[in-house]
A = this chain, B = another copy of it.
Amino acid sequence: MTGITHLVFPDGSAPSTVGAVTAATTPPELDRTDPEGAIAAAAKRCSNWGRWGADDVLGTLNFLDETKRVEGARLVRRGVSFSLAQSFDANGPQRGWRRRTNPVHTMLDTGLDAERGQGFPHGLGGADDVVFMPLQASTQWDGLGHIFDHGTAYNGRRAGDVVTSEGDGVTGIETVAALITGRGVLLDVGRAIGTDGELPDGFAITPAHLEATVAAQGGSARVGRGDLLLVRTGRLARARREGWGDYAGGDSPGLSFTTADWLHGTEVAGVATDTWGFEVRPNEFDVAFQPLHQVAIPHTGLFIGEMWDLDALAADCAADGVWDFLLTAAPLPVTGAVGAPVNPIAVK
């Protein structure tokens, strides 16, 4: 019985019924019947194993050096700041897949207790609280221990040597606690390519779409080594308008599998989207589940952010035409975590 729940995808479908992406958005170079082959080939092309030594645990965050932080800080001109976090509460999109619930926040003491009297001296009263939450319940970073390819983790380690029941003892999120601050750049593909600022579900964002967005947005939107790239699809805006529905695991626009090389080649330090799963869903193979993750995390060592709220920032960028900014996206350093909640802050 064990493992059987994985055969049902988050939207309730089974692997063999993932459904068809419209021809228009299926990159012609993909053979929909051979995800294994495509993944293996991309993994070989996009691997960073050994690039920073056999002991490396930072992956693409190696690109985010001190120079990039200085560059990021210099982008602060007006002092306006944006939180890119969704809410962390019981009203989120999670519906139980993989035992992921929405965060449950409960009180240990409240103002009502304080009014009644809590036993503290001199009229002191206090409220206190606790949370239970899957680390991928809301806005988060995927750690390098989150995804494996055939039992192998980033830098060629065995998955079971990295993540046991005690957590990720090698690439736990705490290893990058201090690092993720630098130049952020937003590509609002929803606005550049979509209708009314939104891409439809199933829309696979290709390198061409990304480049077109850079071109449309101008010089401040250039993407390069060490940048923290944010890609807005408009999916969250739609969920906000229409209700969560299948936001967590269902159909969605997202990055095409074919962006694996582009992400590797640009040498971005991390990439985040406003969707549940970063990559397009349904995925671009007949039977597949998050194949781009399988290349990007264990092979490229890429840090991927999901469920970010990019809408307010995007509106500001569209208004002033400046698409880069200082981004500080410091994961909550839960020791050994393979994913980490984060309240990313962009300052322009």
State the A residues within 8 Å of B (CB).
1-7, 15, 35-36, 39, 65-70, 72-74, 76-83, 85, 87-91, 95-96, 98-136, 145-151, 153, 158-170, 174, 177-179, 181, 285, 287-291, 293-294, 326, 328, 330-339, 341-345, 347
Choice from B103, B126, B334 contacting A103 with Cβ under 8 Å: B334
Residues of B within 8 A of A339 (CB): 128-129
Once the chains bind, are A87 and B333 in contact (CB under 8 Å)? yes
Once the chains bind, are B129 and A132 in contact (CB under 8 Å)? no
Residues of B within 8 A of A163 (CB): 107, 110-112, 114, 127
Most buried by B among A2, A136, A328: A2
Once the chains bind, are B148 and A114 in contact (CB under 8 Å)? yes
Copies in the complex: 4
Q: List the B residue with the shortest CB-CB distance to A109.
A: B165
What 10 new A-B contacts, CB under 8 Å, besides A66-B80, A73-B326, A124-B293? A1-B169, A2-B167, A4-B119, A15-B121, A69-B347, A88-B332, A112-B164, A114-B148, A120-B289, A331-B343
Choice from B6, B110, B133, B336 contacting A118 with Cβ under 8 Å: B6
6 A–B contacts, CB within 8 A, in A order: A85-B330, A112-B159, A112-B164, A115-B151, A115-B158, A124-B290
Q: In whole angstroms, what is the CA distance A294 to B121 when docked?
A: 11
A124 with B291, Cβ < 8 A, contacts A111-B158, A148-B111, A160-B114 known: yes
Q: In whole angstroms, what is the CA distance A153 to B124 when docked?
A: 11
Once the chains bind, are A330 and B83 in contact (CB under 8 Å)? yes
Once the chains bind, are A106 and B108 in contact (CB under 8 Å)? yes
Q: In whole angstroms, what is the CA distance A131 to B106 when docked?
A: 10
Q: List the B residue with the shortest CB-CB distance to A137.
A: B130
Q: How far is the CB of A330 from chain B (nearest CB, A)?
A: 4
Once the chains bind, are A133 and B130 in contact (CB under 8 Å)? yes
A164 with B123, Cβ < 8 A, contacts A78-B66, A181-B81, A181-B347 known: no
Q: List the B residue with the shortest CB-CB distance to A71.
A: B79
Most buried by B among A7, A160, A343: A343
Q: How far is the CB of A93 from chain B (nearest CB, A)?
A: 11
Q: In whole angstroms, what is the CA distance A34 to B179 when docked?
A: 48
Once the chains bind, are A178 and B101 in contact (CB under 8 Å)? no
A79 with B105, Cβ < 8 A, contacts A111-B159, A129-B135 known: no
Once the chains bind, are A134 and B129 in contact (CB under 8 Å)? yes
Q: In whole angstroms, what is the CA distance A232 to B114 when docked?
A: 31
Residues of B within 8 A of A159 (CB): 110-112, 114-115, 125, 127
Q: List the B residue with the shortest CB-CB distance to A80.
A: B66
Q: In whole angstroms, what is the CA distance A176 to B239 when docked?
A: 24
Top 10 closest A-B pairs, CB basis? A66-B79, A111-B159, A6-B119, A73-B76, A69-B79, A125-B148, A2-B169, A89-B335, A111-B163, A83-B178
